[in-house]
Structure 1
C-alpha cells in the first residue's frame, strides 16, 4: 500500500493562498454582477410590452380611488392620472384620502363602498382592508390594487382583481446592487421599511437578502416603522445611525419620502454627501430634484411609472367590467441615476417610459389620440 506523502510547507502555503484568492474572485464576480444589473435597470425603456387588444370600453362607469396618503406625492399623482385616464372613457372618478394609516384606510374604503361605484382602486395595503374589500366583492364592486400586495398580478386571496406595480423583488435588489457596485462590494447599509405594506416588506426583504449575500458588505440595521411617522422618526434615526455606525454609510428605503426627513439631519451633523449615500424608490419629485442637483445625499431612486400604471388600472377595470381576465402586464423597474435623470420623463421629475403607452391604451380602447 502506498503511503500518502505529507504536505510540504510550500504546498500548505499554496493551499492557504487559494482561500483569499477564491474569496476575492467571488467578491469581484458579485460586484461585476451588480454593475451589470444596474446597467440594465438604468437603460431606456422604449418598447411597449403591454396589451395589444382590449374589450370594448364599458359605458358610464364610476370609480373611486382610495389614496394611501394625499401628503405623499406618488399617492396623489395616481389619483390625478387615473382621473385623466377615466375621463378618456367618459367615466367619473372620486378620490378619498386614506391619510396614511390602516384605520383611516378602512374608514376611507367604507366611504368608497357607500358611493356605490363600479370599481375601487386602492393605494393602500390590501391585507389591512380584507373585511371591507370582501364586502365590496359581495356587492359586485371590482377592487384593483396599486402597490397593494406583495407582488404584481391577480391576487384572488386578497379579493383583488389585479395588483399593479413593478416587481418589488427586483426593486429591492436594484437598490442593493447600486450600493454594492458603488462601494466595490464593501457597503455598510441601513435598510428602511414600512411593513404595514406587504409590498414594502417584500421590497426591503430583497434589499436585505442581497446585502447579506455580499461577502464584503454589512447590514447595519433593518428599521421598520409606520410610513406615516417618517417625519417624526427619520431625523433621530438618521443621527443615531451616523453616531453608532460611523461613515461611510448607505441608507436605502422602500420609499423616497423617508429620505426627505433624513437629509436635514445629515446636513445638521455636517456629514459630507460623499460619506452618506441615500437610495430610494418610487421616484418622488423631490428624489428627482436631488439626483439632478447632485451633492444632495440621494444618489438614485428606483422609479415607478405612475401615469402608465394609472392608465393600466383603468384598462384593468374595463377588462373586469367585461368579464375578461387581467392583461398580465408588469412594467420593468427603472433606476434613475445622475447620468439618466433627464431622460424617460426625468425633465418632468417622474418616470415616463418612452414606449408611447398613452397612444397604445387609447388605440386598444378605440379612442382617437
Structure 2
C-alpha cells in the first residue's frame, strides 16, 4: 500500500432543517456582518430571502451579492470582491451550487491577500487561510463545500482556471436536504450524475487511497441507489438525504484523490460553449470510461454493482457492461447523448484539447493520455 495522507478540517452539519443552526455557527465565529453570495434564480424562488431572514433574526447584518452565473467569470469575482471590501463584512455564506462556492472561495482569497485571481492559478499558491466561509449547497452535485478548488472562467482566454489550495476549504458546511427538494428534474439529474462521476473518477484515480476509496464507495452506494428515485420525485425525503450525503462523500473523495479525463475535458466544453458543468460531464462519461477500460483492475465491476438496476454481477463481468449501464443511466435521466446536441462545434476540438491537457486531472487518469487521445475522445463524444 502506497503512502497517503488526509484530514477533515471542517465542521459539517447534516440533516433536515439544519439551516436553523446558521446563526449559532456565525456567533461561534464572532461574525456580526455576513456577506451572502448567491444567484438570482435562488432569489426568485425565495431561498435567498429565507437565508437572509435566518441571518438577520440572529441579530447579524447581511450584505448580499446575487449576480453569480453558471461558469462564473473573473469579472464576477472582481465585482463581488469589491462589494465585500466596501461593505465591511467579516465572513461569508455561499448559497447555491458549485458556482456560488467557487466565487466565494475566490473572493475569500482576494479579500484577504489582494491581487487578481489569476495570480493564484494552479496549485497551492494561496498563502494562508481565506476569509471564514460557510457553504450551504442547494444542489446534490458539486461537493464544493468540501473541495479545495475554485474554478473560474477567464473570459480573455475562454479558459476555466483552477485555484487549488486546501486553504480554500469552507470552514463550515450546512447540508440541509430540504434545499434540494425543489430542484427541477433536469438539474437534479445532471448534478446527480456529476456527483456520481466525482466518486467514480476518484475511485479509479492513480491517486486513490484507502481513505478516498471508502468515501467514494459509500458515495456510489448512496447516489447509485437513489438517483433515479430522486429525479423521479424530488419530494422523496429519504432519496434527497441519500443524494445530499452521497454528494458530500464524493466531494471528500475527489478532494484527496483528484479526478480524471472526464473533468479535464468538460471544463473546456463549458468555457467555450457555456454548457452546464454537470451536463458536459455526463455526456463525456461513457466515452471516457470506455477509453479507460484498458486500465481497469477490477474496479469497473464494483462501480457497476453500485449503479446498475437489479441483481449484482459476481462473475462474467465485462468492462463494456459498465459503459452500457452509464449510457442507459443518462437516457433514463433525460441527459443529452452527444456534445453536438449541446452546441459543441467540431472546429473547436483542437483548442479544447489543448486546454484539457493543462488540467491537473490528466495525470490522475488511470490510462495515460496524450493530446492526440483527447482529440479522438472529443470526436467520439461529438
What interval of TM-score do these two structures reach, taking the shorter chain for normalisation?
A: 0.3 to 0.5
Which one has a bigger Cα radius of gyration? Answer: 1
Which structure dedicates a bigger proportion of its chain to helix?
2
